[in-house]
Amino acid sequence: MTTGTDLLALSPVMPVVVIDDVDDAVPTARALHAGGIGVIELTLRTPVALAAIERVAKEVPDIVVGAGTVTSPEQAKQAADAGAKFLVTPGCTDAVLDAAFATGLPFLPGAATVSEAMRLAERGLSALKFFPAEASGGAAFLKSIAGPLPQLQFCPTGGITVSSAPSYLALPNVGCIGGSWLTPSKLLAAKDFAAVEKLAAEAAALR
**Active site (catalytic) residues:** 41, 129
Count of Cβ atoms closer than 10 Å to residue 151 Cβ: 7
- Site for ligand 3PG, residues 72 to 101, rule: CB under 6 A: 90
User: Which residue in the set 159, 195, 202, 206 belongs to the binding site for ligand 3PG (CB under 6 A)?
Assistant: 159
Helices (H), the chain: 4-8, 25-34, 49-59, 73-82, 94-103, 114-122, 138-145, 165-169, 185-189, 193-204
User: Which residue in the set 12, 66, 158, 175 belongs to the binding site for ligand 3PG (CB under 6 A)?
Assistant: 158
Q: Are residues 152 and 121 in contact, defined by beta-carbon separation less than 8 angstroms?
A: yes
Q: Is 180 a binder of ligand 3PG (CB under 6 A)?
A: yes
User: Which residue in the set 11, 157, 173, 183 belongs to the binding site for ligand 3PG (CB under 6 A)?
Assistant: 157
**C-beta closer to ligand 3PG: residue 69 or 153:** 69
CA atoms within 13 A on the CB side of 74: 1
Q: Is 184 a binder of ligand 3PG (CB under 6 A)?
A: no
Q: Is 19 a binder of ligand 3PG (CB under 6 A)?
A: no
Question: For residues 157, 160, 162 and 168, what is the CA-based torsion angle, rounded to 10 degrees?
Answer: -70
Q: Which residues bind ligand 3PG (CB under 6 A)?
A: 16, 43, 68-69, 90, 131, 157-160, 178-181
